[in-house]
Amino acid sequence: MQTELIFSPLAEIETELLAVLAADSQTAKAADAKPAPILLTADDAVKTAAAAILASGEYKAGANETVLLHAPAGLKAKRLLIVGLGKLAKVKPQGVRNAAGTAVRFTKPRGIKELALALPESELLPPGPCVKAIVEGAIVGDFDADTYKSDRKDVSVERFRLIAHATADKPALEAAFSEGVIVGESQNLTRSLVNEPGNKLTPTILGQRAADMAQAVGLRWDVYSTDKLHELKMGAFWAVSQGSAEPPALIVLRYEPEGAPEGPVLGLVGKGITFDTGGISIKSSDSMEKMKYDMAGGATMIGAMRAIALLKPKVRVIAIVCAAENMPDGKAYKPGDVETAMSGKTIEIINTDAEGRLVLADGLTYARSLGATHLIDAATLTGAIGVALGLVNAGAFSNDDGTFARFEEALKLSGEKFWRMPLGDEYADLIKSDIGDIKNTGGRHGGACTAAEFLHVFAEDTPWIHLDIAGLAWIDDSRPHIAKGPSGVAVRSIVEWVRSYQG
């Protein structure tokens, strides 16, 4: 998608489709209060063209609600699309982001190759954050997961223009637009990786894809395999790997900007299980094909590192992705085995399908050994997090309130939904082992919390955040603003968390 920010009166824009945003300005709470849709633009020509449909009562400006007008009078655009944001008093940049995605997804199946969208004008919507959110939403909205269809038709929007008022602060909006392009494309990189089938994206190929990205954007990188795991005594990571004919990949990406002050080194650690059968504790066959997405945490870190390299914050960052297949070969690790992690901790294996925490255990230890002073990991770690939070929020855990406060501020910018979950000695007691130091599951109850406590053992006292994205990393049904398939959740939030440390 070609993207462009221009400054022009809307009536003068020649385009196949011009999209404007609307909101319901009704503030009355009475049950019989009718919606009062208004356009979020001061352009008189657009208001005149849309006046009849807004007055009809047919269109209510609900969130992502659309209405299309052909040959709008007084405009050079061939079509006028109105996209709703919901209640005006509640609008936020996240709603604008979704509306931009909705406009793109409305356009795609109609074979319309170009789209112009008007930057909303409202005191409730600051221009800079809205510009960034809109271009992110448009780029994310253009992604579809039908990569391998032999008769695939390219219905991508080839050209997207964001139209701002001619009197706007051009340098500030241009900077925000550039940032939005970087973040949107990086989120789509993550989604493209998660979308790949297990036979097309082995651990080795994931390492190659990460290296290609790193070389393209100027990151330092290394990709190691079996010998390095043995050299580092990564017994937990190797245990998961040993049942597969595909060798593991230990992916290391480094961002070391010139002029970065002495201070924090941020460690990003991602679970990269490119296919998860469950191992000897094999999963049900129902929906096992979706287990290609079990490397979404690792893909998140690869996408985030691309954005970080291009945004150039003044802070050092190291990313570790632990990639492997979890297979039930005759060499596979077994329930009852005891494995020794890189840290020296011994782990009793209760369930081989609790493998993600094993690879992350060694990843967290390795990140600390490379100098990381603050840690964040992401993983499709537990089904329990979806039971606890539904498919609305992802789970977040932390051992440090100050570090987590930065993440909460990042969420205000990213628009993503995470809910902080508890840690504590009561959960830690549930993973104590009789034969070793800890066991890799704590039973049925509080599964997301005991998994987080397992990782806490390896983060130790280093300020750390754990993101359990299992419930949100894959979208089962298309939404108005985003296609079904991989979501790329957490990329935006991690990038904003990293940027909070710059300087």
Catalytic residue annotation:
283, 357
469 within 8 A of 278, measured Cβ to Cβ: no
Q: In this structure, which long-range contacts are made by residues 238-242, counting pairs with CB atoms below 8 Å and at least 24 apart in sequence?
A: 239/333, 239/337, 239/339, 239/349, 239/358, 240/273, 240/279, 240/324, 240/326, 240/333, 240/355, 240/358, 240/359, 241/203, 241/324, 241/325, 242/329, 242/331, 242/332, 242/333
Ranges of beta strands (E only) in 295-410 are 316-326, 338-340, 346-348, 374-379, 394-398
Ranges of beta strands (E only) in 33-183 are 37-39, 66-70, 79-87, 114-118, 159-164
In angstroms, rounded to a whole number, what is the distance separating the alpha carbons of residues 208 and 186?
Answer: 17
From edge to edge, which strands make up the β-sheet containing 464-468?
220-224, 249-255, 316-326, 265-276, 374-379, 464-468, 394-398, 418-420
**CB-facing half-sphere around the CA of 257: CA atoms within 13 A:** 23
Q: How far is CA 348 from CA 221, 431, 455, in A?
A: 33, 9, 14
Pairing between strand 464-468 and 374-379?
A: parallel
446 within 8 A of 377, measured Cβ to Cβ: no
* ∠ CA 473-488-6, rounded to 5°: 150
Dihedral of the alpha carbons of 304, 299, 449, 239, in degrees to the nearest 10: -130
**Closest Cα to residue 379, out of 320, 317, 297?**
297
In angstroms, rounded to a whole number, what is the distance separating the alpha carbons of residues 4 and 381?
Answer: 38
